[in-house]
Amino acid sequence: MTTTILETSLVLLQMVCVIIVIAYLVTRSRFFSEVLGGHPRAKTQAIFAVIFGGVSIYGTISGVEVLGAIVNVRDLGPMVAGLTCGPVVGLIAGLIGAVHRMSLGGFTAPSCSIATVLAGLLGGLIYLAGKRRFVGIKIAVLFAASMEVLHMLLALLIDRPFSAALEVVSSAVVPMVLANSAGMFIFAFVITNLETERRTQQERDGLLREMERKDTELKIAAEIQRSFLPDTIEQVPGFDIAAKSIMAKEVGGDFFDVVPFEVIPLNKRSTGVVIADVSGKGVPAALFMALSRIVIRVNALWHEKPADAIRDANNTIAHDSQSGMFVTAFYGKIDWQTRTLTYVNAGHNPPLLLRARNHEFNRLPPTGIAIGAKENAEYTAPELPLESDDVIVLYTDGVTEAVNPHDEMFSEERLRNVVKACANSSAHDLIEKILEEVKSFCGDLAQSDDITLMVIKVRNTDPETLELNVKAAIENLPHLMDNIQSFMRDRGFTDETVLDVQLAVDEAVTNIIRHGYRGRDGAIEVRCRVSAQDVVITIEDSAEPFDPLSVKEPELGDDVESRQIGGLGIFLMRKKMDQVTYEFKNGKNVLTLRKKTVRAR
């Protein structure tokens, strides 16, 4: 029964489907990545030569006989081998398919075998012309169709009798061209998709590496920026100062600074305080923040008058800035002997001054434009007298403009309410309370702007009382001990008495840092009151409740090996003091140390 062109084409397409499954499995193998890279190893070339040679044999076996000739997709294997792996692999795959075809015999065997070898060799030459890369779907399909046309021409030139060859070609040319072109299209489509996946994977990996690099750079930038902010704020007589900055992103444009009075050459009794907010966010704002902080600090150290310092800082930044960025800033100079604040507000949010005498707020309004906005701007510097228990709150707009899920702002009014309600708290605790209220107000919404706060509390002016607020960190102990030593010596206490008090306070504060806060942030308030009869030191903290007096005294008669660890420090503290009491009051640990003494003078 005569095989029609349609029937032949359907059988050939069935073969193509099988070959496509083989193609998918081959291209997903770990060896094919070498092929896509353009430099397959000899072992990989040998493996694919055998595989595609086997595909060629399968194309022959599953072919359809038309007038004594086998119509098939034998050439597809060597063509793909050449197009993907080069002429050597294509030639070997073609030879494998050709030898098998010759073994089957028939009058078309010579032309078919030669065509199979040429298919692999020509495919390899196209691969080399494409610089060892797969040439794409269009060229691959065009090559497959052209190769089958060449195959038919070879049959007409070589196979005899000519009339039989012509009849075979007439019946086979259309299905052969269609089947091999369709097979090549699907094979090329699979390879092209794989190359696209590979490029996408490489781009994704490159993007991930770039993101990791940028994340690392941002982390380094954040560390550098944090290093610009004071780790600790040294307390000065008569004032309790605390500050905190929380960036909305890794880096930001807010900053605060405390210029210690020791480094101001023209006035040894002053402390400078700065809070500022750079326009913009992210890395540009962080860079501008670093510049602004350095310029403001240098000018603060150079000029005695705050207005002169900010004027020159503005001229420097405005002259050098090419980005149009600016910074709002509040710079105040606290004279802790006269208890006055001289300040310049360069377009910043007006700080709040809560007066203790009437519990009313005063705003400290701008006294000039933002720094960097315009050269040669003029600034004024009002002077304010400060009184005991006054509270000054400096803040950036990230506090008052924090938004809740209902699109409402936290507002200055809410800030005032928190400050007034917690006016008796330490500067550190007041900041934490404000931040807690802001977070509660915003709910689950992410922080949208940098938040920076500084609180300055004016302490009681009693000359017989020293009040200090220190951050819970071991490195702050020397500063605390120095203040106690200076305070007691100035009031005529002997070195022996001063040393006893220092030893007891050192032990108490060390216990709070290590066993109370356990490395967490926190504040410790130390108040030293002296009289003609005694010295009373009160130490308060907000760590977990702990009564040091509950610790059992060590057995000093035991040998070192059998003695229980711990307790010696507390034992020493109790021996050095005449009275030690503990209570947990209003959420705080309160330890009171009392030593009876007589002043040396």
Q: What does the DSSP 8-state code read for residue 3?
A: P
Q: Could you tell me the domains of the chain?
A: 5-203 (1.10.1760.20), 229-459 (3.60.40.10), 462-601 (3.30.565.10)
How far is residue 391's CA from residue 138's CA, in Å, rounded to a whole number? 79
How far is residue 383's CA from residue 370's CA, in Å, rounded to a whole number? 20
**Spans of the chain below 70 pLDDT:** 1-13, 16, 19, 64-71, 217-218, 221-222, 224-228, 250-252, 261-268, 281-282, 322-323, 461-462, 553-567, 598-601
Residue in 510, 527, 548, 538 with CA at minimum distance from that of residue 594: 538
How far is residue 174's CA from residue 145's CA, in Å, rounded to a whole number? 10
How far is residue 355's CA from residue 390's CA, in Å, rounded to a whole number? 5
In tens, the pLDDT along 384-432 reads 999 888 999 999 999 999 999 999 999 999 999 999 988 888 899 899 9
- The H-assigned helical ranges of 229-262 are none
- The pLDDT of residue 412: 94
Q: Cβ contacts of residue 179 below 8 Å, gap of 6+?
A: 9, 12, 13, 15, 16, 73
Three-class SS state of 162: helix
How far is residue 317's CA from residue 297's CA, in Å, rounded to a whole number? 13
- The pLDDT of residue 565: 43
Contact 345, 395 (CB under 8 A): no
- The pLDDT of residue 178: 83
- The pLDDT of residue 248: 77
- The pLDDT of residue 264: 47
Residue in 275, 323, 313 with CA at minimum distance from that of residue 450: 275
Contact 160, 111 (CB under 8 A): no
pTM (predicted TM-score): 0.56
How far is residue 296's CA from residue 450's CA, in Å, rounded to a whole number? 20
Token pair 């982390």 is at which residue?
219
Q: List 526's β-bridge partners, or say none.
A: 468, 539
The string over 447-476, giving b where at least 16 C-beta atoms fall within 10 Å of a residue's C-beta and e elsewhere, is bebbbbbbbbbbbeeeeeebbbbbbbeeeb
Instruction: Name the phi and psi angles at 117, rounded to 5.
Output: -65, -45
Token reading at 28: 């997903």
- The pLDDT of residue 557: 54
Token reading at 269: 């009794």
- The pLDDT of residue 416: 95
Q: Cβ contacts of residue 65 below 8 Å, gap of 6+?
A: 3, 71
Q: Cβ contacts of residue 559 below 8 Å, gap of 6+?
A: none
How far is residue 175's CA from residue 12's CA, in Å, rounded to a whole number? 7
